[in-house]
Amino acid sequence: MSAFPLPAPMRRALDLASAAAEAGEVPVGAVVTRNGEVVAEAANSMRGSLDPTAHAEMVAIRMAAERLGSPRLDGCQLWVSLEPCAMCAGAIALARIEHLYFAADDPKGGGVVHGARVFSQPTCHHRPLVSGGLGEAEAADQLRRFFAERRG
């Protein structure tokens, strides 16, 4: 456990991930902030919505764009409990998210520091600042427990 408390948006993302797990969804939560205020938040909802694109990041980005009245989320930060996949990383770039914070790495499905490494591609025209590992142990534990229960 860290000697410092997590920033409130990451704490909220982890709480949303926990709620997703309780609902039978893969435990991932996402929060969009701007100027220190929460603009949107969401948890994974693929199973409940029957939508394969309803990753927490995608839902939160859609909500933030609607709330702000723009597809460009200039000056916004995205806080996510798991490294975004390639689809979500593409949406983050297209939305012009300023800074991506994520908790746990995703060596199998990540698209930021693993896998496709979307922001490193020459076709990616916007690259947010990226900070990983914030709340990593808790997020990784949530995911381990969720999948252990499914396999059990």
As a whole number of angstroms, the distance between CA 29 and CA 40 comes to 11
Give the DSSP letter of residue 120: G
**96: which residues sit within 8 A by CB, 6+ positions away?**
72, 73, 74, 126
**CA gap 73, 78 in Å, rounded:** 10
For residue 34, the SS3 value is: strand
Q: Determine if residue 85 is labeled as part of a ligand binding site.
A: yes
Question: Which residues does the annotation mark as catalytic?
Answer: 57
126 is in an annotated binding site: no
d(C-alpha 28, C-alpha 68), whole Å: 23
C-alpha 17/C-alpha 13 separation (Å) is 6
Residues marked as binding for Zn(2+)? 55, 85, 88
Residues marked as binding? 55, 85, 88
